[in-house]
Amino acid sequence: MTPLVSEAQFEKAVSTFRDLLRKQLEGKGRDVVQRVLGLKSLQTAQVKLLTRLVQLNSGLVERTVFCETRAPWGNFVRDAQVELAPSAMGDEHERLASLVRIPPLSGPAREFKVTFFPKSNEDWACQKLFDEYQERELRPASPQLILAVLRDDPNFLRQYSIGTQWHDNNRSVCSFWCKKGSNGRKLIDAECDRHQSHLWQGGWLFAGVEAEARE
């Protein structure tokens, strides 16, 4: 049976944690440090955190796409007359009433790794979703990256309903989502919620990129 973690990976993790401990405990009292390191509650907290991180990183779906660097998109502009990226969504898509216009992209294309994580069974309010991004060390992916995933994998929506949310320049919460409708057509929508009252219900995958990545 192949071990889940190799000895080299264990050694690296232990070495990293040892270096972190030395840095954090430097200058603290010797007696206090030795007492704390011997507490069972410290071991319990470490195991609890590890279990939580394993849970957070289970069920991830990752896609690598090439996408143009984007224009600033803090604010979406509502325009019910503008079609949204038909080349990415294909001919069989429906444009909902609150659809917004995405600013045009500019600049050279570069590679991005988009990570999708699943929502749990309970409903998530806006702040809950932001917290989930932060716990996974991700930041919300832009709609452009979601559309790039759909461009490369048109069947993605047959398996998943996907979404993202962010704050615009006025600190309103904006959300963007795509899913398969009951009639088999692709549904896509976006909205800005000044009161942050939006509630994510049902099964979703949320798109994110590494926190240090820049679009």
Residue extents of the structural domains in the chain: 7-56, 61-210
The amino acid at residue 38 is G
**Count of residues for the chain?**
215
Confidence of residue 143 (pLDDT cuts 50, 70, 90): confident
**Six-digit token string for 79:** 């325009």
How many C-alpha atoms does 46 have within 13 Å on its Cβ side? 12
**Six-digit token string for 173:** 């919460």
Confidence of residue 127 (pLDDT cuts 50, 70, 90): very high
Three-state DSSP class for residue 126:
helix
Beta-bridged to residue 176, according to DSSP, are: 164, 190
DSSP 141: P
DSSP 178: E
In this prediction the pTM is 0.68
**Six-digit token string for 56:** 């957070």
Across 41-50, 106-115, 168-177, 184-193, least confident range: 184-193
Q: Is the pLDDT of residue 52 over 80?
A: no
Separation CA 56–CA 54 (nearest Å): 5
Residue pointed to by tokens 């049976």: 1
